[in-house]
Amino acid sequence: MDKAKEFTFTDRDFNFIKNLIATNTGIVLSDAKRSMVYSRLARRLRSLSIENFSDYCDLLKKEDHEEQVHFVNAITTNLTSFFREKHHFEYLSKTLIPHWKKTRQNEKRIRIWSAGCSTGEEPYTIAITLQEHFPDLEQWDVKILATDLDTNVVATAQAGVYAEERIEGLSNALKKKWFKRGKNNHDGKVKVSPYLQDLITFNQLNLLQEWPFKGGFDLIFCRNVVIYFNKDTQRILADRYADMLKDDGVLFLGHSETLFKVSDRFSLVGNTIYNKVR
């Protein structure tokens, strides 16, 4: 029991929360995440004027209560940046786009899914890469689907407004071309170009539930997502991703993730880059 803290947080409370987040999202929380869980949910207790975690857990037991959404949003982790893991975007620009231009000339149709888009930096980076390296992009039917479990980050991503320091790592040319600096009340902020937003559809999605689309994706980004799932759930997701990809489709995982001993439906072709096995 954590007696010295603002709110009483017992082993029973923590185990309930671990089981609930695993049931709702598939994310497995280790005991090492206890302090993180406390700090994130303590904000919810203050907001709701609840005096201890036991009462908060009782509230979460009401399955249809609106707090379920806030609970999931508070627990799920969202760390991202523009052009994170640059080798993926280099592979997209130097390998995949030339490949698509050769093999998709008849249909001129590209579909990309950012599964776990967080606050939007990933799908916007995909859009920038396409705009920069696909000269006749406007003549193609190109769409990016961006989804995340957390409704708050999806709303942030859709708005496309960021603190100016978020784009510090980008070249001046990219900053000038794809971001508009805010003025007056929006000083210190930037907004992404509508040319990028037009390529992207944002939606809330729980990866462990039914997916309301049929697939046919050329590329799926699922980076720093499967690391939170156990092996059985990873196997299920890998199968579902394979089903969603075209025969020459590609899957990108995060830097610490692997499909080794998880799925035989993909072959490793680069650093955390997988081709679907036909």
Average pLDDT of the chain?
93
Is the same domain home to 103 and 204? yes
Give one DSSP letter per residue of 233-248, joined into a string.
HHHHHHHHHHHHEEEE
Q: Is residue 80 part of a domain?
A: no
Name the pLDDT band for 24 (thresholds 50, 70, 90).
Answer: confident
Is the same domain home to 100 and 52? no
Name the pLDDT band for 78 (thresholds 50, 70, 90).
Answer: low
Q: Is residue 6 part of a domain?
A: no
Is the same domain home to 153 and 33? no
* Annotated catalytic residue within 13, 44, 148, 223: 148
152 pLDDT above the threshold of 80 = yes
- Taking residue 113's Cβ as centre, other Cβ atoms within 10 Å add up to 28
161 pLDDT above the threshold of 60 = yes
Beta-carbon-side half-sphere exposure of residue 4 (alpha carbons within 13 Å): 1
The mean per-residue pLDDT over the stretch 165-181 comes to 93
Q: Is residue 3 part of a domain?
A: no
The mean per-residue pLDDT over the stretch 241-259 comes to 95
Is the same domain home to 204 and 244? yes
Q: Is residue 134 part of a domain?
A: yes
Largest separation between any pair of C-alpha atoms in the chain: 67
Length of the chain counted residue by residue: 278
3-state helix, strand, coil in the chain (%, to 5): 45, 20, 35
Q: Is residue 22 part of a domain?
A: yes
Is the same domain home to 54 and 135? no
pLDDT of residue 30: 84
149 pLDDT above the threshold of 90 = yes
* Annotated catalytic residue within 40, 104, 166, 235: 40
Q: What is the pLDDT of residues 116-145, one digit of tens each?
A: 999 999 999 999 999 999 989 999 999 999
Of 31, 51, 75, the one marking the end of a domain is 75
| Domain CATH code at residue 71 | 1.10.155.10
Of 75, 101, 130, the one marking the end of a domain is 75
Q: Is residue 180 part of a domain?
A: yes
Range of the domain at 95: 86-276
How many secondary structure helices (H) and strands (E) does the chain include?
A: 11, 10
Is the same domain home to 177 and 261? yes
Q: Catalytic site residue 218?
A: no
| Domain CATH code at residue 102 | 3.40.50.150
Q: Is residue 267 part of a domain?
A: yes
Is the same domain home to 104 and 25? no
Is the same domain home to 48 and 95? no
Q: Catalytic site residue 148?
A: yes
Residues 6+ apart with CB under 8 A from 164: 181, 188, 189, 190
Q: Is residue 127 part of a domain?
A: yes
Is the same domain home to 95 and 52? no
The mean per-residue pLDDT over the stretch 206-211 comes to 95
Is the same domain home to 40 and 97? no
Of 75, 105, 129, the one marking the end of a domain is 75
Name the pLDDT band for 79 (thresholds 50, 70, 90).
Answer: low
* Domain total of the chain: 2
Is the same domain home to 65 and 98? no
Is the same domain home to 213 and 149? yes
Give one DSSP letter per residue of 72-122, joined into a string.
HHHHS-----TT-SHHHHHHIIIIIHHHHHHHSTTT-EEEEEEET-TTTHH
Question: Against a cut of 0.85, is the pTM above it?
Answer: no
Residues 6+ apart with CB under 8 A from 92: 126, 129, 130, 133, 219
